[in-house]
Chains A and B, each alone.
Chain A
């Protein structure tokens, strides 16, 4: 890589929006993953033309460019494995248009999910993909990872609601992809290709998003299960019954313990709970679906089912679920939550067997693993709870991660359901998608011949995630 011309970058975006200071470089060297690698410079563009100029400069000089939203990714998406320019996109945070009559809005990539929803609310609309990190995650980051969240079970993931994109390509050219309509059969669906491409194909500078009318009625319930497989079977039955719940969340006992400890939620100490929600415009329809789900849970030995349509109580339950991932760090003394094997998806009928196996894998490998997630869409979150300062625990974690993904593949599941691949899931994805790796590389080479856009991620990432970068923890050896 040539030496960076920091002055040139300052000319493009202004001196206050460029930093090569050690404090900034160090903070931008990591995200919510286990990885760490230093960028050469952090740049905060404020408009499309600036992004174009930065990419023209970077492409001419073969300098890596890594786009970053909130930096809350869990697999190392924004960790600059080859150094280069980290593009902090949060200054591009304008909501450009809200068009309820067309069911769409147009936004810049730095808009925060919750802020968009606050702006849509007075129009009676909302943006459906709702990750737990909605209060801080950016639309650009959600597009990069094809994020979904707990309402994806009804409304789909980010890819399903991106109608069009404006993207700056590696050579600085600006292209408009997709359209303003929900149906689109005009050539390759390139906007859909960009969604989930983790910044490897272009930098999104504007998104046209499908928005949905806010439902008038909503109800939520919690069902307790003494056996995990009963909970899994209940979810499978609900999803195949023709009911369309707006949320179906599973929490195992590890997750219940953690959330009770960290947030004092007072959830029952059972093997699993399911939180389910239905929404709609007709109260009777919502009640009908809630009752039907309740009946299915009861048929599968679900007990203590409490239903509520009180907004405060629903918010309390939702808060607990939303804060589950960080709460896991309070599960047990010395164990902290690491973002590993965090978001596999399996066929809905396999949830129970997958969760059971995850617990077995954890036991075999001296770590604790929770299993929870948007199980209505087959998504299981696990985090590995371990002592990250001990070298031996990383060996344990490496084995647990490999065994988890091997099992997920064996039951027809996939490596990542919503967080993306980047570095820590790349070895597993490369096994799972071995037939399409070369196709992915061909697309990458065609759009980014100098390999400057978030290089060495996904199909091009190293084969061993533990050595792909320095681990961001103070690992000291010992048992």
Chain B
């Protein structure tokens, strides 16, 4: 096949010496167990598609889409192979050959037609004038109460944000293999969001505003940390680092410092900070393989329960949703209790 996206990564794929160090703690390989499921397997399949050893098939596409893009493999790879770029490039070549799943096609169509991943024409940003540009993002636009809460927190801390009409940052296009669509879409995005800076709520949007749009994006917690007063919540909780937060943006200490200031004692999970385990919500599998996503989330929630804390706090709306579902499942399966909350709830309570 004409693997035009993968072609750029031939040298990178040769750099992978197939040592399998990426097996360690790969959330997909931990659940499924085949070598094919790990980063090495996915790089090998990508290389096969590029070299012509392999013709695309549905099963190859399925394997390449069964990845949360959590970057655990990249953090474990001593050769520094850009595994996620290779996988998203393979996805792009497969999508061009017609191997996008129906659900992924629908999401992309939704973005193009309505400007959000849900295809919901009612989803609207809470428009307001202000000094600092804010990018809300699809996940928070669909959770208006959370958005309002964050904006009010910022107001309380003396930060007056400006919210305009906005559309999806386009991240799903990039990671689900619709790279060409993104190139066309990018100018639409820039038209509506012409700013060079942004405060963001969603870790993934933060990453993609930086990488896909060259915008100097700052996650809201980085802004809040500078201004948060001392609190006295007297809580004990564990903290889940979203992959985009700890591995991509390297935002590790900020949420912990905020929680500590508010009087929350953090009990770390076995995998924490830069070595955090994925929640199972990334890379598109939440939409296309909910069983795999659920299984990964259950493994993570078990780690949280093992800490003895009764609350898990996170900073990403997708992680929150996926882990809340896992908490419900673990209650049903094993009778164990843990409450999953997003950090803005805790900050709101701490500032009250």
Interface residues of A, Cβ cutoff 8 Å to B: 19, 21-24, 26-28, 30-32, 42, 44, 70-72, 88, 90-91, 133, 135-136, 262-263, 323-330, 334, 336-339, 388-389, 472-474
B80 within 8 Å of A (CB atoms): yes
Which of A19, A22, A31, A71 lies in contact with B57, CB distance below 8 A? A22
| Cross-chain contact of B19 among A133, A336, A472, A474 (Cβ < 8 A) | A133
Distance, CA A26 to CA B47, complexed state (A): 10
Q: Is A326 in contact with B77, judged by CB distance below 8 angstroms?
A: yes
> Which A-B residue pairs are the 4 nearest by beta carbons?
A323-B78, A326-B78, A474-B51, A27-B41
Tell me the nearest residue of chain A to B64, going by C-beta. A23
Cβ-neighbour of A70 out of B23, B36, B47, B60 (below 8 A): B23
Give the residue of B10, B21, B59, B78 whose beta carbon is less than 8 angstroms from that of A262.
Answer: B78
CB distance from B59 to the nearest CB of A (A): 5
Main secondary structure of the interface of B (DSSP, over half): helix
Q: Report chain B residues within 8 Å CB of A27.
A: 34-36, 40-41, 44-45
Verify if B48 is at the interface (C-beta below 8 Å from A).
Answer: yes
Alpha-carbon gap, A54 to B303, bound state (A):
37
Q: If A23-B63, A326-B79 touch, does A336 touch B17 (CB 8 Å cutoff)?
A: yes
- The answer to whether A136 and B24 touch across the interface, beta carbons within 8 angstroms, is yes
Which residues does chain B contribute within 8 Å of A323, judged by CB atoms? 21, 78
Do B45 and A32 touch across chains, with their CB atoms under 8 A apart? Answer: no
Least distance between A96 CB and chain B CB atoms (Å): 20
Residue from B19, B36, B59, B62 in contact with A72 in the complex, judged by beta carbons closer than 8 Å? B19
Q: When chains A and B are docked, how far (Å) is the Cα of A272 from the Cα of B273? A: 35
Pairwise interchain contact A389-B14, C-beta atoms closer than 8 A? yes
Q: How far is the CA of A136 from the CA of B19 in the complex (A)?
A: 9
A339 and chain B: residue at smallest CB distance: B17
B262 at the binding interface (Cβ < 8 Å): no
A78's nearest neighbour on chain B, judged by CB, is B35
| In the complex, residue of chain A having the shortest beta-carbon distance to the beta carbon of B11 | A334
B18 contacts A133, C-beta separation under 8 Å: no
Docked CA distance A248–B47 (Å): 38
- Complex Cα distance A389/B50, Å? 13
Q: Does B54 contact A (CB under 8 A)?
A: yes
Size of the chain B interface, CB-CB below 8 angstroms: 35
Is A133 a contact partner of B21 (Cβ separation < 8 A)? yes
Q: Can you give 30 contacting A-B residue pairs, CB < 8 Å?
A: A22-B59, A23-B36, A23-B60, A24-B36, A26-B48, A27-B34, A27-B35, A27-B40, A27-B44, A27-B45, A28-B36, A31-B18, A32-B17, A32-B20, A70-B23, A72-B18, A135-B21, A136-B21, A262-B78, A263-B78, A326-B21, A327-B78, A327-B79, A330-B80, A336-B11, A338-B17, A388-B14, A472-B18, A473-B14, A474-B10
Which residues does chain B contribute within 8 Å of A334, judged by CB atoms? 11
Say whether B35 contacts A28, CB under 8 Å.
yes
A327-B44 Cα distance, complex, nearest whole Å: 19
In the assembly, what is the distance between CA of A88 and CA of B41, in Å? 14
Residues of chain A contacted by B51 (CB below 8 angstroms): 474
A328 cross-chain contacts in B, Cβ below 8 A: 17
The answer to the question of B15 belonging to the interface, with a C-beta cut-off of 8 Å to chain A, is yes
Whether B53 sits at the interface, judged by CB under 8 Å, is yes
Contact call B34/A19, Cβ cutoff below 8 A: yes
A263 to B75, CA, bound (A): 11
- Complex Cα distance, B62 from A136, in Å, reads 25
Instruction: Judge if B33 is at the interface, Cβ distance under 8 Å.
Output: yes
Q: When the two chains form their complex, are residues B47 and A71 in contact, meaning their CB atoms are under 8 A apart?
A: no
12 extra A-B contacts, CB within 8 A, seeds A23-B60, A28-B35: A23-B57, A27-B44, A30-B44, A31-B18, A44-B33, A88-B34, A263-B78, A326-B17, A327-B79, A329-B16, A336-B14, A474-B50
- Interface, chain B (partner A; CB < 8 A): 10-11, 14-21, 23-24, 33-36, 40-41, 44-45, 47-48, 50-51, 53-54, 57, 59-60, 62-63, 77-80
Would you call B36 and A88 a contact (CB within 8 A)? no
Contact (Cβ within 8 A) B78 A26: no
Q: How far is the CA of A44 from the CA of B79 in the complex (A)?
A: 29
Q: Which residue of A lies closest to B76 (CB)?
A: A135
Question: From A70, which residue of chain B is reached at the shortest CB distance?
Answer: B20
How many Å lie between the Cα of A415 and that of B47 in the bound state?
A: 31
Interchain nearest-CB distance for A89 vs B (Å):
11
Nearest Cβ in chain B — how far from A37, in angstroms?
Answer: 12
Residues of A close to B10: CB separation below 8 A: 389, 474
Evaluate contact between A330 and B34: CB separation under 8 angstroms.
no
Which residues from chain B contact A263 at a C-beta distance below 8 Å? 78
Q: Is the CB of B44 within 8 A of A262?
A: no
CB distance from A38 to the nearest CB of B (A): 9
Say yes or no: B59 contacts A23, CB within 8 Å: yes
Chain B residue nearest to A68 (CB atoms) is B35
B48 lies within 8 A of A329 (CB):
no
Q: Which residues of A contact B17 (CB under 8 A)?
A: 32, 325-326, 328-329, 336-339
> When chains A and B are docked, how far (Å) is the Cα of A88 from the Cα of B16?
22
In the assembled complex, how far is the CB of residue B34 from the closest CB belonging to chain A, in whole angstroms?
A: 6
Partner of A26 from B15, B23, B50, B54 at Cβ < 8 Å: B54
Contacts of B24 in A (CB 8 A): 135-136
For B35, list chain A residues within 8 Å (CB): 24, 27-28, 71, 88
A contact residues around B33 at 8 Å (CB): 44, 90-91
Hey, which chain A residues are within 8 Å of B62, CB to CB?
23
B126 to A: closest C-beta gap in Å: 44
Residues of chain A contacted by B44 (CB below 8 angstroms):
26-27, 30
Residues of the A chain whose Cβ atoms lie less than 8 Å from the Cβ of B41: 27
Cβ contacts under 8 Å, A338 to chain B: 17
C-alpha gap A164/B24 in the complex (Å): 28
Assess the A329–B15 pair: CB atoms within 8 A.
yes
Roughly how many angstroms separate A324 CA and B34 CA in the complex, as a whole number?
A: 26
| Residues on A with beta carbons closer than 8 Å to the beta carbon of B53 | 26
B20 touches A133 (CB 8 A): yes
| Inter-chain contacts of B50 with A (CB < 8 A) | 474
- In the complex, what distance in Å separates the CA atom of A132 from the CA atom of B33? 22
Least Cβ distance of A313 to chain B in Å?
19
Q: Could you tell me the distance between the alpha carbons of A53 and B28 in the complex, rounded to whole angstroms? A: 29
* A133 and B17 alpha carbons, distance in the complex (Å): 13
Chain B residues near A44 (CB-CB < 8 A): 33-34
- B75 CB to closest chain A CB (Å) equals 12
Q: Nearest B residue to A327 by beta-carbon distance? A: B78
Q: Which residues of A contact B23 (CB under 8 A)?
A: 70, 136
Most buried by A among B45, B77, B79, B80: B79
